Amino acid sequence: MKRFLMVMLLTLFICAGFIGLRFGSALFQEEDSASILLSILELELSMSDYAKVSEHRYVSKSTDSSGFIKEFMTEKGWTYRDQAGSGLIFEKEERSVVVETRQFSRHYILWDVPKDS
């Protein structure tokens, strides 16, 4: 029993160390870091290009992230127009929305889709 407890504690310590090294200070930059980490786990375990964090927030890997976002918005009927800083501008029926993106860690970005899209 004592050996089992030691193995479990060591495993927990290694997992916590891995999470700390992988995400570093990014763990404290968002209010809902726990839900973001769960979405990242879902993303890593699936073959999807992105994972839903909340109703209007998504996470994807940093590689070619704007491609996934453009594809996502095109499926919803929006047309990509331009990029302004970290925001991607889409149009649909004379309306415009901006999908805001930001780096969560070196490996992942968060993107927020406006409610009216």
Domain ranges of the chain: 2-112
Between CA 64 and CA 70 the distance in angstroms is 10
Residue range 17-41: mean pLDDT, rounded: 70
Check: CB of residue 91 under 8 Å from CB of residue 79: yes
**Residue 33: CA count within 13 A, CB half-sphere:** 13
Q: Are 99 and 88 in contact (CB under 8 A)?
A: yes
Q: How confident is the model at residue 107 (pLDDT cuts 50, 70, 90)?
A: confident
User: Which of these ranges, 22-26, 69-73, 91-95, has the smallest mean pLDDT?
Assistant: 22-26
Segment 80-106 mean pLDDT: 91
pTM: 0.73
pLDDT-derived band of residue 75, with 50, 70 and 90 as boundaries? very high
Judge whether 100 and 87 are in contact, CB under 8 Å.
Answer: yes
Residues 20-35, mean pLDDT to the nearest whole number:
64
* Other Cβ atoms within 10 Å of 70 Cβ, number: 18
Which amino acid is located at 89 in the chain? I
